[in-house]
């Protein structure tokens, strides 16, 4: 049984274990600062599929099967899959999981989907509703660009505030266990915050206030401060959103800079022409499953806040003049000695 403390924080009595994980990325993602961290590198942007949409599904499916292989488990051993993506009607996840023949819960949290999956998954396992599960998410630069912005062949210019949708997928296997290497101890379901941003090329600014709200609520609910965590990562505010988040905390006289990073800023290097950094459900999923959880495994990190940030909008809502709504779901992941 979980219980609630403070305003919004859920505490898990038997913290669900993250027992394995895998990340799949494209070549651009593997040519950045995290080169070599990922399980599978897709050389072909179509992953030998007929469309970019099916390529995205293939990558998410590969992330799931690689996770299961690493855990020496079969898909039929899994109680439920929780998944989501950015494509209309979440078809990336549908076709990634269709052949699994396992119970499936579709989530929509835009780029916060990996965190939403970990969060809901933790609630299901801690509450006895599942013994194990897969949480997964994906995005693909090409499928996202043509759905949200312009046909790729149009070659539109991107402003400096724009983020680059990562061609990437990640999956984690969570299990009920008393014997944890690392586990999810706390979770916060984010609330939507909207500050009037209407520029789809400035998602970081739209999401930073939601990240601030969720992370500061975590601090106050659990009576912790930034130095109580080895790392606090948002995913994905990008460079501009991340600097806004730092400034929002400065107003509270809280310095998060010593422990703070953003998955969108970590994934790509300065020379990769991605402007404000990475984005997309797959960005934070791949940075978590390709890099951060390995750092925990290697005992370089013991306590991590994974704060997934999403921009809730559609091309239709933007064309109709509606603002971009930010949301941030967070989980605390702790390494524990066996």
Tell the smallest beta-carbon distance from residue 190 to a second copy (Å).
6
Q: How far apart are CA 102 and CA 89, in angstroms?
A: 19
**Smaller CB distance to a second copy: residue 94 or 272?**
94
Q: Which of 23, 115, 120, 218 binds a second copy (CB under 8 A)?
A: 120
Q: Is residue 199 a contact point for a second copy (CB under 8 A)?
A: no
CA 52 distance to own-chain centroid: 20
Only one of the segments 78-86, 151-159, 224-232, 242-250 lies at the binding site for a second copy (rule: CB under 8 A); that segment is 78-86
| Pairwise CA distance, residues 58 & 49, whole Å | 8
Q: How far is the CB of 207 from a second copy (least distance, A)?
A: 13
Nearest CB to a second copy, comparing residues 110 and 305: 110
Whole-angstrom distance, CA of residue 226 vs CA of residue 220? 11
3-state secondary structure of 199: coil
90 interacts with a second copy by CB under 8 A: yes
Under rule CB under 8 A, residue 327 binds a second copy = yes
Of positions 171, 313, 332, 333, contacts a second copy by CB under 8 A: 313
C-alpha distances (whole Å) from 180 to each of 118, 132, 248, 301 are: 16, 14, 35, 15
Which residue stretch of 60-68, 88-96, 245-253, 264-272 sits at the interface with a second copy (rule: CB under 8 A)?
88-96
- Contact 26/45 with Cβ under 8 angstroms? yes
Alpha carbons 12 and 289: distance in angstroms, whole number: 22
The whole-angstrom separation of Cα 95 and Cα 84 is: 11
> What residues between 134 and 173 interact with a second copy by CB under 8 A?
147
Q: Is residue 45 close enough to count as binding a second copy by CB under 8 A?
A: no
Burial zone of 262 (CB within 10 Å; 0-12 exposed, 13-18 middle, 19+ buried): buried
Backbone phi, psi, residue 284, to 5°: -70, -30
Question: What sign does the CA torsion over 25, 26, 27, 28 have?
Answer: negative
Distance (Å, whole) CA 2 – CA 147: 39
User: Applying CB under 8 A, does 107 fall inside the site for a second copy?
Assistant: yes
Determine, following the binding rule CB under 8 A, whether residue 280 of this chain makes contact with a second copy: no
Contact 211, 329 (CB under 8 A): no
| Stretch touching a second copy by CB under 8 A, among 97-105, 160-168, 223-231, 266-274 | 97-105
Beta carbon of residue 65, minimum distance to a second copy (angstroms, whole number): 16
Does position 128 interact with a second copy (CB under 8 A)? The reply is yes
Span interacting with a second copy, options 4-12, 58-66, 134-142, 296-304, rule CB under 8 A: 4-12
Give, to the nearest 10 degrees, the angle between helix 203-222 and helix 238-250.
40
Task: Return the range that interacts with a second copy (CB under 8 A); candidates 67-75, 120-128, 265-273, 279-287.
Answer: 120-128
Round to whole Å and give the CA distance between 119 and 306: 10
Answer for which of 37, 130, 142, 248 binds a second copy (CB under 8 A) is 130
- Judged by the rule CB under 8 A, the positions of this chain that interact with a second copy are 1-4, 8, 10, 50-51, 53-54, 79-80, 84, 86-91, 94-95, 97-98, 100-110, 116, 120, 123-124, 126-131, 147, 187-192, 194, 312-317, 320, 322, 325, 327, 329
């Amino acid at each position: 049984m979980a219980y609630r403390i403070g305003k919004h924080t859920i505490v898990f009595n038997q913290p669900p274990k993250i027992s394995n994980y895998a990340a799949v990325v494209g070549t651009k993602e593997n040519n950045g600062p995290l080169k070599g961290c990922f399980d599978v590198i897709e050389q072909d942007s179509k992953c030998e599929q007929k469309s970019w949409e099916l390529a995205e599904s293939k990558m998410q499916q590969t992330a799931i099967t690689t996770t299961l292989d690493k855990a020496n488990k079969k898909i039929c051993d899994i109680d439920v899959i929780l998944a989501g993506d950015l494509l209309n009607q979440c078809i990336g996840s549908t076709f990634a999981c269709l052949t699994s023949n396992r119970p499936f819960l579709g989530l929509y949290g835009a780029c916060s989907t990996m965190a939403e999956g970990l969060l809901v998954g933790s609630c299901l396992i801690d509450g006895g509703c599942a013994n194990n599960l897969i949480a997964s998410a994906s995005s693909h630069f090409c499928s996202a660009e043509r759905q949200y912005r312009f046909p790729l062949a149009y070659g539109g210019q991107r402003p400096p505030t724009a983020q680059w949708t990562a061609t990437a997928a990640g999956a984690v296997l969570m299990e009920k266990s008393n014997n944890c290497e690392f586990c999810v101890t706390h979770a916060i379901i984010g609330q939507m915050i909207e500050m009037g941003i209407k520029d789809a090329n400035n998602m970081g600014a739209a999401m930073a206030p939601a990240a601030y709200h969720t992370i500061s609520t975590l601090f106050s609910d659990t009576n912790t401060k930034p130095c109580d965590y080895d790392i606090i990562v948002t995913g994905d505010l990008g460079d501009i959103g991340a600097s806004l988040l730092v400034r929002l905390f400065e107003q509270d006289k809280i310095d998060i800079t010593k422990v703070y990073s953003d998955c969108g800023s970590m994934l790509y290097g300065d020379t990769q022409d991605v402007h404000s950094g990475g984005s997309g459900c797959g960005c934070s999923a791949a940075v978590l499953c390709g890099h951060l959880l390995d750092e925990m495994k290697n005992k370089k990190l013991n306590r991590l806040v994974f704060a997934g940030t999403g921009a809730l909008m559609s091309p239709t809502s933007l064309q109709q003049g509606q603002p971009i709504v930010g949301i941030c779901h967070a989980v605390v992941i702790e390494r524990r000695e066996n």
